[in-house]
Amino acid sequence: MAYKMLFSPIKINQMELDNRIVLAPAHEGLATLDGFVTPAFINHYLRIAQGGVAMMVLGGVAINTRPFPALRLSDDKYIPGCKELTDRIHAETNTKIVPQIYDWLKVKRGWKQKVEEVPVEQLKESIDFHEAGALRAREAGFDAVEIHAAHGYLLAGLLSLRNHRTDEYGGYMEMESPSQERIARLAHLYDEFGGNIDARMKLTVEIYERLRKALGKDYPIGIRFNGEDFIVGGNTLTSTRIIATKLAALGLDYISISAGGKLEDSPGTDPYGLPYAYPPFGGYSGFRCMPQGEMPEACNVFLAEEIRKTVRAAGYDTPIMTAGRITRPELAESILQDGRSDLIGICRGLVRDPDWPIKSKEGRGDEINKCRYCNACLEAAVRGEGGHCKYRQEGNLGKVL
Ligand SMILES: Cc1cc2nc3c(=O)[nH]c(=O)nc-3n(C[C@H](O)[C@H](O)[C@H](O)COP(=O)(O)O)c2cc1C
């Protein structure tokens, strides 16, 4: 078979994947404004699943409110619609389906609310929101949950080196050996000493531990976070390697490495006037998150590669996932063969052509309709028009006939 590793199975906790291709989380704007599944939402994901992807991560599923047509798990009333979705996917395909749950807190209270300004009580409340959302996800038949700790949201803000909180959720900082004077002088190097990483990880760890207790040891829990923030003073591999190793030690079942998408360098707002980090309104970090056609192929894989190396050297075999302009099956195969990642995340390529996996498997890679990485799908999703590819001649994935 062509692409031997790409089409080899992998087990994530008790969840068995047919191959290594994952739909990287993509907010598609097809839920109702108040967060319910729609027929177009189901059709969209069913069509992607029919193309043979092993697992689909649903982007940004809110565990509390958000003013956007995004799926929610913030109340029991959302469970039946989600159950209808998971039942359809499971009945008609072999694809696993996983919500990426997140707290919109960091941006919901105003333009660029600083992570330093969030009161501790709200952080504690977020643990409850995550637990309740994850329990609803399991009840609705999802195969796993993914904790969203990437980009510009609450957990990413806390994990970042740009988190200058002075309490136990930031801790500027505890170091055993160097003097305070030396710390001040070498502030930019804190992470080389591993100084405040535990404090920055505190909420993420508390959430993971609560989820594990609530969901049990056999239910897969993954996480997505930034391998590099791509903002001045933000996280780089120096700290993210350590964070990943600690997460692996905790027992996370997979680690998905994203990049950028930060609000700190964003000059703009979205069409609704809300803070926005991604193309075309965001800054450089936003463009690293959803790399456009002018960026090299696979431009963020080096992050997963370095993290994987560190995690493996520490003795953990936690599957690592990469994403970002992985355009061709031979490229995906070589990333796996070279041990740079265990899972291949593809987002826009599958929106352009959901049959990317099956065409690759059948040696028809040259028939894949190529994504232009123009981000028109993203802009359409943000406008609330559904994250469609305008170049897809067959029409919207979610079209309701
Ligand atoms: C329309 C759109 C929506 C996205 N929504 C999310 C999201 O909700 N959560 C997330 O972690 N990443 C999100 N991403 C980022 C993707 O998961 C992915 O990392 C990125 O697009 C790079 O992969 P690609 O080059 O295969 O598209 C989104 C990307 C696009 C294009």
Torsion from C-alpha of 86, 89, 91, 96, nearest 10 degrees: -80
- pLDDT for 174 equals 44
In ligand 1, the atom with minimum distance to the C-alpha of 148 is 11
Between strands 55-62 and 145-149, the pairing is: unpaired
In ligand 1, the atom with minimum distance to the C-alpha of 150 is 11
In ligand 1, the atom with minimum distance to the C-alpha of 381 is 1
pLDDT > 70 in the chain, percent: 91
pTM higher than 0.85 for the full model? yes
Confidence band for 274, pLDDT divided at 50, 70 and 90: confident
For 171, how many CA atoms within 13 A lie in the half-sphere containing its CB?
18
- pLDDT for 172 equals 52
pLDDT tens digits for range 81-116: 999 999 999 999 999 999 999 987 666 555 557 888
CA of 388 to the centre of ligand 1 (A): 13
Residues β-bridged to residue 24: none
In ligand 1, the atom with minimum distance to the C-alpha of 258 is 19
The 8 Å CB, 24+ separation contacts for 189-195 are 190/161, 191/161, 191/236, 191/238, 191/239, 191/242, 192/238, 194/242
CA of 131 to the centre of ligand 1 (A): 24
* Fold of the CATH domain 10-382: TIM Barrel (3.20.20)
Residue 370 is classified by DSSP as P
> Which of 20, 21, 23, 27 gets mutated to test ligand 1 (max ligand atoms within 8 A of its CB)?
27
pLDDT tens digits for range 135-170: 999 999 999 999 999 998 899 999 998 888 888 898
Distance CA(65)–CA(23), nearest Å, equals 24
pLDDT at 128 over 70: yes
CA of 183 to the centre of ligand 1 (A): 37
Radius of gyration of the chain from its Cα atoms, rounded to whole angstroms: 20
CA of 84 to the centre of ligand 1 (A): 24
> Which of 348, 356, 389 gets mutated to test ligand 1 (max ligand atoms within 8 A of its CB)?
348
CA of 187 to the centre of ligand 1 (A): 33
pLDDT at 188 over 90: no
Preceding amide of 220 cis, omega within 30: no
CA of 277 to the centre of ligand 1 (A): 12
Q: Which of 396 and 288 is assigned the larger pLDDT? A: 288
In ligand 1, the atom with minimum distance to the C-alpha of 378 is 1
